[in-house]
């Protein structure tokens, strides 16, 4: 991102209208140059409005993540655990950037966040919509010395942690859809993507990435194939991204520390309270296979139990859809 683009976004982050002339004066460039920069904002997922006679505005403005503020509000114990925190304006993917550092031997806990991701990754190779300055894109690393078996259920525990944080902000009606979706009234609000790297000593380095829709512009919403929702829509008021970010860091880093000690067993009961699939007729897509059955909840490793006729099988991967009650053959994500 060039300095001029950044400077322009900073001015427009107040959510007010600014005329091309005023912007040109502030940045000491022509109105044509302003217009050219405006045309670049789309590539950062910034949807600018232009009103004749008033100028340009970013609806709702932008609250930048404030590194100093965040650092000053992190709990002492959490701060002590973090070895490095990267705040990017725009990055390919916060998960990807941490994975690269881990492979170079950087030590945990690493944290990476960004205002914008060009290649935000969702589960199963999907793209994660990451418009500039509107949502939370947060990744952090953890190293499990005893290998990958110790990470079973981690994604689920993080989903539960997100729900617990969001409830503190007064949000009810939250649910968890195995393995990684946080839903509000059936719509996707947040997702978790954990990625792993094993080193030559058998240490399992995990990158835990989470995306939370805070104020998803409607153009971005329209590009998501699943019904989605954001915090602004749920609460009908804006919550501070900085406050939410600090709450997430404080809660989730302590949670993973506990997970490291106890494994998933101490999160199982909590997760069950929010399980949206239990006792539902489901279809699980596993590679080219489709498995139909009744979801029976999760096991102590976070696997999904599915009953098919008289057999119960536990699955650790796959994509699940719930069968709509009124329609026998249609499934919703």
Active site amino acids? 123, 188, 323
What character string, x for contact with ligand BTN (CB under 6 A) and - otherwise, covers 132-151?
-----xxx------------
Instruction: Provide the minimum distance between the beta carbon of 285 and ligand BTN in the complex, in angstroms, as a whole number.
Output: 15
Candidate list 55, 120, 217, 263; residue touching ligand BTN; CB under 6 A: 120
Residues 6+ apart with CB under 8 A from 72: none
How many whole angstroms separate alpha carbon 115 and alpha carbon 62?
A: 10
Q: Which is nearer to ligand BTN, 191 or 293 (CB)?
A: 191
What character string, x for contact with ligand BTN (CB under 6 A) and - otherwise, covers 1-40?
----------------------------------------
121: contact with ligand BTN by CB under 6 A: yes
Q: Which is nearer to ligand BTN, 12 or 244 (CB)?
A: 244
122: contact with ligand BTN by CB under 6 A: yes
Instruction: Provide the minimum distance between the beta carbon of 200 and ligand BTN in the complex, in angstroms, as a whole number.
Output: 26
How would you classify the pairing of strands 281-286 and 174-177? unpaired
Candidates 68-76, 122-130, 147-155, 230-238; binding stretch for ligand BTN (CB under 6 A): 122-130
CB atoms within 10 A of CB 80: 10
Q: Which is nearer to ligand BTN, 126 or 221 (CB)?
A: 126
| Residues of span 215-254 touching ligand BTN by CB under 6 A | none
129: contact with ligand BTN by CB under 6 A: no
Structure-token pair, residue 65: 């993540």
| Residues of span 37-96 touching ligand BTN by CB under 6 A | 93-95
Candidate list 44, 56, 128, 132; residue touching ligand BTN; CB under 6 A: 128
Candidates 39-47, 81-89, 118-126, 152-160; binding stretch for ligand BTN (CB under 6 A): 118-126
Dihedral angle of Cα 232, 238, 91, 246, to the nearest 10 degrees: -120
Q: Which is nearer to ligand BTN, 39 or 118 (CB)?
A: 118
Instruction: Provide the minimum distance between the beta carbon of 165 and ligand BTN in the complex, in angstroms, as a whole number.
Output: 15
What's the sign of the alpha-carbon dihedral 5, 10, 13, 14?
negative
Q: Which is nearer to ligand BTN, 56 or 141 (CB)?
A: 141
Number of residues binding to ligand BTN, judged by CB under 6 A: 21
DSSP track, 259-319: HHHH-THHHHHHHHTTBSSTT-EEEEEETTEEEEEEEEEE-TTSPEEEEETTEEEEESS-E
Task: Give the residue at shortest CB distance from ligand BTN.
Answer: 191
How many whole angstroms separate alpha carbon 193 and alpha carbon 180?
A: 7
| Residues of span 176-215 touching ligand BTN by CB under 6 A | 180-181, 191-193, 209-211
Determine the 3-state secondary structure of 206 from DSSP.
Answer: strand
Q: End-to-end distance of the chain based on CA atoms, in angstroms?
A: 36
How many whole angstroms separate alpha carbon 162 and alpha carbon 165?
A: 5
Contact yes or no for 42/4 (Cβ under 8 A): no
How many whole angstroms separate alpha carbon 39 and alpha carbon 91?
A: 20
Contact yes or no for 71/85 (Cβ under 8 A): yes
**List of residues contacting ligand BTN (CB under 6 A):** 93-95, 117, 120-123, 126, 128, 137-139, 180-181, 191-193, 209-211
């Amino acid at each position: 991102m060039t300095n001029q683009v950044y400077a322009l976004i900073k001015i427009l982050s107040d959510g007010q209208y600014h005329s091309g002339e005023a912007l040109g004066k502030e940045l000491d460039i022509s109105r044509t140059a302003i217009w050219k920069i405006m045309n670049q904002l789309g590539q950062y997922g910034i949807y600018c409005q232009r009103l004749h006679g008033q100028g340009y505005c970013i609806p709702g403005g932008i609250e930048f993540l404030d590194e100093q503020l965040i650092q000053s509000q992190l709990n002492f114990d959490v701060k002590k655990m973090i070895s490095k925190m990267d705040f990017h304006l725009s990055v390919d993917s916060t998960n990807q950037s941490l994975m690269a550092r881990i492979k170079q031997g950087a030590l945990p806990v690493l944290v990476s966040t960004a205002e914008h991701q060009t290649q935000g990754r969702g589960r199963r190779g999907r793209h994660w919509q990451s418009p500039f300055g509107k949502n939370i894109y947060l990744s952090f690393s953890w190293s499990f010395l005893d290998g990958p078996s110790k990470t079973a259920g981690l994604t689920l525990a993080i989903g539960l942690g997100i729900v617990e944080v969001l409830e503190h902000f007064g949000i009810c009606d939250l649910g968890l859809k195995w393995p990684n979706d946080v839903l509000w009234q059936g719509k996707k609000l947040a997702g978790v993507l954990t990625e792993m790297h094993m080193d030559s000593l058998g240490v399992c380095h995990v990158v835990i990435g989470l995306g939370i829709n805070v104020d998803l512009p409607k153009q971005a919403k329209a590009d998501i194939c699943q019904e989605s929702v954001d915090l602004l829509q749920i609460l009908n008021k804006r919550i501070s991204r900085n406050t939410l970010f600090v709450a997430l860091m404080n809660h989730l880093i302590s949670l993973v520390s506990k997970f490291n000690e106890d494994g998933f067993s101490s999160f199982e009961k909590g997760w069950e309270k929010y399980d949206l699939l239990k006792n539902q007729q489901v279809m699980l897509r596993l590679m080219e296979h489709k498995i139909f059955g009744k979801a029976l909840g999760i096991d102590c490793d976070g696997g999904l139990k599915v009953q098919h006729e008289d057999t119960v099988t536990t699955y650790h991967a796959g994509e699940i859809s719930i069968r709509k009650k009124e329609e026998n053959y249609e499934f919703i994500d």
